[in-house]
Amino acid sequence: MNAKSVTPEIKQSIAELREQINDHNYRYYVLDAPDIPDVEYDRLMNELKRLEAEHPALIVPDSPTQRVGAAPLSAFSTVKHEMPMLSLDNAFSDEEIADFNRRLSERLKSTEDIEFACEPKLDGIAISLLYEDGVFVRGATRGDGETGEDISQNVRTIPSVPLRLRGKGFPATLEVRGEVYMPKASFNSLNEYARKHDQKTFMNPRNAAAGSLRQLDSRITANRRLEFCAYGVGLVREGNLPDRHSEILRRLQQWGVRISDKLAVVKNLAGCLEYYKDLEQVRADLEYDIDGIVYKVNRIDLQRQLGFVSRAPRWAIARKFPAQEEMTRLINVEFQVGRTGAVTPVARLEPVFVGGVTVSNATLHNQDEINRLGVQIGDTVIVRRAGDVIPQIVSVVMSKRPAETIQIVFPSDCPVCGSPVEAMPGEAVARCTGGLVCEAQRKEAIRHFASRRAMDIDGLGDKLVEQLVDQSLVHSVADIYRLDAETLAGLERMGKKSAEKLVKAIESSKSTTLPRFLYALGIREVGETTARNLAAEFGNLDDLMKADQGRLQQVKDIGPVVAHFVEEFFQQSETREGIRSLQNAGVHWDEFTPGENTAGEGDQPLAGLTYVITGTLESMSRDDAKEKLQQLGATVAGSVSKKTHAVVAGPGAGSKLARAEQLGITILNEKDFLALLEKPESAQ
Ligand code: IVH
């Protein structure tokens, strides 16, 4: 493009656009409170890019457009840290923190309580950002603490690193120190993409962040969703900073640097211990990995007095959480068959304490994953359990491979029913082709049929289904309706009372709704929403059973894949017979009128309203709270936006609550929430 002539108006427009974009970045990354939709932000950015392309002479390194990465480097140059980047001593128990506090008092020769700043210990990569007169001039890794690498080009691509500080009053030279990390969701999608494209996956978010920062081609870094969070300052020249660590961080925040929203100041040791408990509770819900807490003496004058010992400050300590990764041995691999026949390899492990629980099983996903890991039975493996995520095997410790390992062989026949196991072309999952002939699939189908959100047969749990199928008392779901109290009472862990109760529950499940019934049938890819859409479209089962794929695709949110599964399902003679048996047994529903709720509990007073749940609730789990809201028709979202109707916040609520407050969104405590469940009509 030919450069056009630069007029004062163009200069002005460019300056205004940059300022607007920087403001939005600040609101988004630092305050966590965006006030414009993404499309509007994109529009501003595109406009700026267009003007800069027309007038390349006006491009400056700190323009918000300059985050896309630059030409690849052949190597990173080295950077000498004028002030060394130190590390921290670790503590693993309350006692060790008490010892730390005692040592401080002794050194300070004071009996007064010591005030601490508490921050999460982010599990990422330490970096240093250098600002000269407020302009970002260099980003460097920690390296060995004395010398690091110049990764400025890569750091520039991280959206939460300000390329220019906001406001005024910052020192002429200011070195900001903090952690670059990859949020868990970004890590998962990066690995998912890698798995799909047969590329190398990363072990954990920290490795992914390190790998992304180490790219010589910063355009790759620009495509990885990295974030930055500051935890301190290094070199400061010509300028003053507040006299407390927490205040320095807040000052950084005012200058546009992101700091932790979990930063807290506590009065003494007791406060530190409480902070640990609180953060441990919410650890799994955080959007990023943390491996502990850092306690820092808050007063800078006391920090100076305390000084350093070898490579670590005396005034700070890291209290580590139980590790989320551990080494253990793979003892065996078993193959489990799910409701849809998917055959999943499950690793049996030597029990190991990781992420706060003892883990003895982990998923291996599928054959591709086994190949990718190159794992064999007998290997030493690294197991990762982050929060409530299913434990995963992340890698094999090849150096510990014993002389004799056993190859993992994926079965060609179903381990339960012996039917062939097949993988559809292009699908990583292998499935047992036995359908309901397969006992494992039958058990899962029966469990699903009886589950709360399906036919809701209270008391028909996993263990019972297991016995009923094993003893050939139940072959198909219709057989459930032939069970009597006497038979049930003869089963393990069943008494006369519970048998009678179960018979009653079976009886009352006969009266259901069409969406629930469709969901209960367990058609592949038909969850509750699809079941509801199908019911709303056809109104009755007969018309649905007659529909071909073309007709099915006219239903809301149903594409060719689901249409195929639905058609195929209803064409099978076993399906038709099964449905007839159920109806003969007395299962019935009224014709469906749209707007009816799956649970059949009348209307949906919260329809159209979006809720967000954050923190911990005492009376129920978050999942249960979510389910209850959904039953009333509400949508439950993971993040707060202007569209959020209200936020349900329990203790431990963090950034979501803060964001809701900033956006002026209604906040419900647990009592309000329970009242809402009682009287949902009052919500609108
Ligand atoms: S303060 C002199 N605060 O932990 C004190 N470090 O084990 C220097 N880290 O290299 C560090 N979160 O990469 C500090 N809130 C936090 C931190 C933090 C993560 C990392 C940092 C450092 C390592 C020390």
Grouping H, G, I as helix, E, B as strand and the rest as coil, residue 284 is helix
Is 316 close to ligand 1, i.e. is its CB under 6 Å away?
yes
Instruction: Encode pLDDT of 601-635 as tens digits.
Output: 446 778 878 899 988 787 787 878 888 888 888 88
CA 326/CA 22 separation, integer angstroms? 42
Domain residues of the chain, as ranges?
A: 8-58, 90-320, 325-417, 435-509, 514-589, 610-683
Within this chain, domains 90-320 and 325-417 share the same CATH topology: no
CA 484/CA 502 separation, integer angstroms? 9
Confidence of residue 684 (pLDDT cuts 50, 70, 90): low
* Ligand 1: nearest atom to the Cα of 123: 19
Query: Which residue, judged by its Cα, is nearest atom 11 of ligand 1?
Result: 87
| CA dihedral over 133, 138, 144, 147, signed as positive or negative | negative
CA 385/CA 161 separation, integer angstroms? 30
CA 6/CA 54 separation, integer angstroms? 9
CA–centroid distance, 142 to ligand 1, in Å, is: 11
**CATH domain 435-509 topology:** DNA polymerase; domain 1 (1.10.150)
Is 91 close to ligand 1, i.e. is its CB under 6 Å away?
no
Task: Report the residue among 90, 122, 317 best suited for mutation to probe ligand 1: largest number of ligand atoms under 8 A from its CB.
Answer: 122
**Which CATH number applies to 90-320?**
3.30.470.30
Instruction: Encode pLDDT of 337-376 as tens digits.
Output: 988 899 999 999 999 988 778 899 998 988 888 998 999 9
CA–centroid distance, 64 to ligand 1, in Å, is: 28
CA 301/CA 130 separation, integer angstroms? 24
| CA dihedral over 188, 190, 195, 201, signed as positive or negative | negative
Query: Class of 325-417 per CATH?
Result: mainly beta
**Which CATH number applies to 514-589?**
1.10.150.20
Lay out the sheet containing 610-614: strands in order across.
Answer: 635-637, 610-614, 644-649, 666-668
Is 179 close to ligand 1, i.e. is its CB under 6 Å away?
yes
CATH number of 610-683, picked from 3.30.450.20, 3.20.20.100, 3.40.50.10190, 3.40.630.30: 3.40.50.10190
CA–centroid distance, 194 to ligand 1, in Å, is: 30
Mean pLDDT of 90-104: 95
Nearest to 452 by CA among 674, 558, 601: 601
Is 181:211 a contact under the CB 8 Å cutoff? no
**CATH domain 8-58 topology:** Helix Hairpins (1.10.287)
Is 410:364 a contact under the CB 8 Å cutoff? no
Confidence of residue 597 (pLDDT cuts 50, 70, 90): very low
Instruction: Encode pLDDT of 460-489 as tens digits.
Output: 988 999 999 999 999 999 999 999 999 999
Would residue 121 show up in a list of annotated catalytic residues for this protein? yes
